[in-house]
Every structure is written in structure tokens, then in C-alpha cells.
Chain A
Amino acid sequence: GNSVTQMEGPVTLSEEAFLTINCTYTATGYPSLFWYVQYPGEGLQLLLKATKADDKGSNKGFEATYRKETTSFHLEKGSVQVSDSAVYFCALADTGGFKTIFGAGTRLFVKA
């Protein structure tokens, strides 16, 4: 079945450091891929998405490219801020099941 695997956390970085959170997926076909972010005490916010191979999603300085050759959708940001501290979830659309399948989440701590 469809699944998402993302790197375990927590990830701790200093402000202005480069961020990469790895995500790989297993799926039938080429589903849409997403990154969601969850700040403490809140629900999930859609950070970015890509709907087909080679698409690059981007938002708020974050980027991820849909790589079908490596079945990956790694999240990157060139310079993180303390306010980026949150849990990040990689996810894919299970269109036949009308649901989103999530990875386990990666907690990011950014130190000033």
C-alpha cells in the first residue's frame, strides 16, 4: 500500500542554518505530495504541495521537488528562523481512498 517515510527527529539547528528534511514515498502512480507544518498547540497547515513529477512546491522560503526517479520529496530551506520551530509532516494523497497518508513527522528546533 501507499506509505510515507521521513527522517526521524528531532532536528536541532542554529538560526540561519540550512535545513533538509528527507522524505520518501511508496505509491501506485504519481499522487500529489505535500508538506504540512504543525506549530505547538495548533492543527496542520499546508506548507507546500506538488501535483506531478518534477514539480517544485515553494512557500515562505521552503522548497520541495517531486522526484519520481528517487520517489522523494525532500523539504529544504536556505536559512531557518526561530519561528520555523515546529513539526513537519510529509504526506501523499491517496486519491482512491479519499484521504491523506502522513509520515511520522519531524520535529525541528531552531536556536537563536
Chain B
Amino acid sequence: DVKVTQSSRYLVKRTGEKVFLECVQDMDHENMFWYRQDPGLGLRLIYFSYDVKMKEKGDIPEGYSVSREKKERFSLILESASTNQTSMYLCASTRGGRETQYFGPGTRLLVL
């Protein structure tokens, strides 16, 4: 079974804090993704990575950065958290191409 894990299920941070969200997959997948999900807006892609140390911006990268130092781990960084970054953050991975994307359980972030 593919397993995608995220470091926290729930997180509360203050405005201006630096926030790290970590995602780990155990299936040797090349591609990893970070999405955020908000009511009425669906799933929106923040960043993705198709190889170690490679990253590409998704649809809404502003205010975020990512790091992929190892194949199994993809980190999302909020350099200075703001209240409009309160959201559900979802990590996904896939072997590539038309392969199925597998999601982690999500991290619900609240920025006060």
C-alpha cells in the first residue's frame, strides 16, 4: 500500500511565524505535490517537484516555498504566515505521467 504521511494533522501558528509542513512517501515516487483546499475553491496546486532538488511553481505559489532534498520528503514552507494561509494543506505523490496521485491525510493550519 502506498503511504503518504504528513507531519501534523492540526497546527496553530501566529501571524509572521515561519511554518514547516513535511510530507513523506514510502513508494519511491518521483513526483510530489502540495495543494491547499478551501471551501468553494476546490484543490489548488501550490508547488510540485518531479525530482530531488527540482521544483516548479503551481497555480498559487506566492507566500510559499518548498524543499526536496531527498526523494521521499517534500517540505512546504510558509516564510511568514498570514491569516489568509489558514487552510487545509494536502500533499500527494505519484510515480509520474498518468499514474494515480496518492494523498496524505492533510494538515489543517490555523494562522491567528
A binds B: no
Q: What residues make up the interface of B, taking CB atoms closer than 8 Å to A?
A: none
Residues of chain A whose beta carbon lies under 8 Å from any beta carbon of chain B: none
